[in-house]
């Protein structure tokens, strides 16, 4: 217990939110390993000088997201389930390719500060035309481009555009800005590539592409990132696994 970092009681961030984000980080970094018995609530609450009800709010969200599992006799067990949406697992493109053992290249990596257009402002719940950092990337597993990304980040994070975006994005946000992406809300549709997308992905105008729009949220469901991706249909498939409910 002595190695577990303390919470900041002087911070404006609620203690239950601090506890939840810290526990997520400890699980992700293998401080708590899959299958480990989680510390007793009384011991953890005492170390952090918080009430058990405050701690239970944090633990309850981790149980809901599949990171912890409560068992009657053995206590709470670490499951270390990957971050998920209501559809399937999601994480950064870098980690997705590494998890599959597929080498990839970044063909374009451009960072700029732009004024938030109407859709971006709406998705990030911010004022129209307010400056935001925009990250554009083209990535591929071969010589030809596979996907083009546009990511817009909420000014609350504190990005300036001078950061090292060659690092895995969500690791960088966590390590440098203490921002932990937790939820993802997505819309997926098939469209015909317009002139810009066709040129970037080196396909014919009107060729089918998969467009995915994603809003990434923190533990309090505040928007962090609005991301639009266009995938070439000849080299990408979006796979979803669903479970039929018990009758």
pLDDT in tens, 58-92: 999 888 877 888 888 778 999 854 433 334 455 55
User: Any idea which residue has 């066709």 for tokens?
Assistant: 198
The pLDDT assigned to 103 comes to 62
- The stretches of 50-168 forming alpha helices (DSSP H) are 52-64, 93-100, 118-124
Flag whether pLDDT at 229 surpasses 80.
yes
The pLDDT assigned to 87 comes to 41
Question: Of 188, 193, 224, 187, which Cα lies nearest the Cα of 206?
Answer: 193
The pLDDT assigned to 239 comes to 63
Q: 236 near 210, Cβ under 8 Å?
A: yes
Summary mean pLDDT of the chain: 85
Q: How far apart (Å, rounded) are the C-alpha atoms in residues 183 and 219?
A: 7
Give the CA count within 13 Å in the CB-facing half-sphere of 33. 0
The pLDDT assigned to 149 comes to 94
How many residues comprise the chain? 247
Tell me the whole-structure pTM to 2 decimals: 0.60
Out of 3.40.50.970, 3.30.420.40, 3.40.1190.20, 1.10.10.10, the CATH code matching 15-78 is 1.10.10.10
User: 24: which 2 tokens?
Assistant: 């997520």
User: Any idea which residue has 């481009």 for tokens?
Assistant: 145
User: 80: which 2 tokens?
Assistant: 């270390």
Flag whether pLDDT at 24 surpasses 50.
yes
Name beta bridge partners: 212. 188, 229
Domain positions in the chain are 15-78, 93-232
Angle between helices 15-28 and 52-64 (to 10 degrees): 50
Out of 51-60, 76-85, 134-143, the most confident range is 51-60
pLDDT in tens, 176-200: 999 988 888 888 899 999 999 999 9
Same fold, 15-78 and 93-232: no
Choose between 139 and 152: higher pLDDT. Answer: 152
The pLDDT assigned to 140 comes to 84
Reported confidence tier of residue 245, pLDDT bands at 50, 70, 90: low
What is each CA distance from 6 to 15, 49, 66, 107, in whole angstroms? 11, 9, 24, 42
Burial of 60 (0-12, 13-18, 19+ CB in 10 A): middle
Choose between 238 and 202: higher pLDDT. Answer: 202
Distance of CA 117 to the CA centre of its chain: 22
User: 65: which 2 tokens?
Assistant: 């997201």
- The stretches of 66-150 forming alpha helices (DSSP H) are 93-100, 118-124
The radius of gyration of the chain's CA atoms, rounded to the nearest angstrom, is 20
pLDDT in tens, 80-133: 544 333 344 555 565 565 555 556 688 889 999 999 999 999 999 999 899 999
Looking at the domain 93-232, which fold is it? Chorismate lyase (3.40.1410)
Flag whether pLDDT at 44 surpasses 90.
yes
């Amino acid at each position: 217990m002595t190695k577990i970092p303390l919470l900041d009681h002087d911070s404006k961030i609620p203690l239950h939110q601090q506890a939840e984000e810290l526990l997520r980080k400890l699980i992700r970094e293998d401080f708590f390993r899959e299958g480990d018995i989680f510390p007793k609530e009384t011991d953890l609450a005492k170390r952090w000088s918080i009430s058990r009800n405050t701690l239970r709010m944090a633990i309850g969200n981790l149980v809901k997201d599949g990171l912890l599992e409560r068992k009657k006799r053995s206590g709470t067990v670490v499951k270390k389930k990957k971050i998920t949406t209501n559809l399937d697992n999601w994480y950064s493109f870098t980690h997705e390719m590494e998890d599959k053992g597929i080498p990839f290249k970044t063909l374009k990596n451009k960072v700029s500060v732009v004024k938030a257009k109407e859709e971006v402002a709406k998705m990030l719940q911010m004022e129209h035309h307010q400056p935001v950092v925009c990250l554009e990337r083209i990535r591929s597993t071969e010589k030809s481009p596979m996907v083009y990304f546009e990511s817009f980040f909420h000014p609350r994070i504190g990005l300036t555009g001078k950061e090292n975006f060659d690092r895995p994005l969500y690791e960088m946000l966590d390590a440098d800005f203490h921002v932990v992406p937790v939820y993802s809300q997505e819309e997926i549709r098939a469209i015909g590539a317009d002139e810009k997308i066709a040129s970037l992905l080196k396909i014919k105008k009107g060729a089918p592409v998969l467009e995915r729009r994603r809003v990434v949220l923190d533990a309090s469901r505040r928007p962090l990132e609005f991301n639009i991706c266009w995938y070439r249909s000849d080299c990408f498939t979006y796979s979803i696994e669903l479970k039929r409910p018990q009758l």
